[in-house]
Amino acid sequence: MKDKHLYQRRIGKYKDKEGYKSKLNYKGYTEDGFYYRSTTKEWVWKQNIKGETEDKLHTAKTISELREKKNNHLKGRGSHKRSKGTPLPHGLVSTEEFAKLTKIEKLSKEYISRLLKRASTSSNEYDERGMERKKRGMKFVNCLKKASIEYEQIVQRRKVWVFKNVNNEKIELFKKTWLAKI
């Protein structure tokens, strides 16, 4: 083996049959993280497994066999192109879509969720300082009711607020009542 593509050299110790310690001169690591073990005359790949204390050693007679073993069987090949969430059933609108439809600058998906939570929480859980927040949540819910937009909280991987019966006319009516001063 030529040493021009090796990264670091290792020296290992082992006990002979007679019990003496001697040094082995391992070849260095390759680009793929393989090294040559001269005792068994095999190429070795030390796989670091997340969450386990001991590493797993895989061996093969040639580098190409070990590379094939690593790429095809042992390396994680999951699909990393996942959608951010599960799709909602037909006719339901998420808080993110609702925020985009209303085009009101201060209404983000997080703020809409907070307003709905504040409106659905009982008043005795709020102290005097939090009553203003509760009132804003109630105003949001009243605006939804005036526009006849229904809302509910469903469980889809986690709790999510969704809206039903949403169209452009109802959105305009909601915007008009939300932006109006009381």
Question: How many C-beta atoms lie closer than 10 Å to residue 111's C-beta?
Answer: 15
Mean pLDDT by 10 residues, the chain (182 residues): 49 57 59 81 80 79 86 61 68 88 86 87 73 86 91 82 90 90 64
The residue ranges of DSSP E strands in 33-107, in sequence order, are 34-37, 42-47, 56-60, 93-94
Residue type at position 54: E
Predicted pLDDT of residue 84: 61
Read off the tokens for 101.
């439809």
DSSP state of 124: G
Strand partners, 14: 22
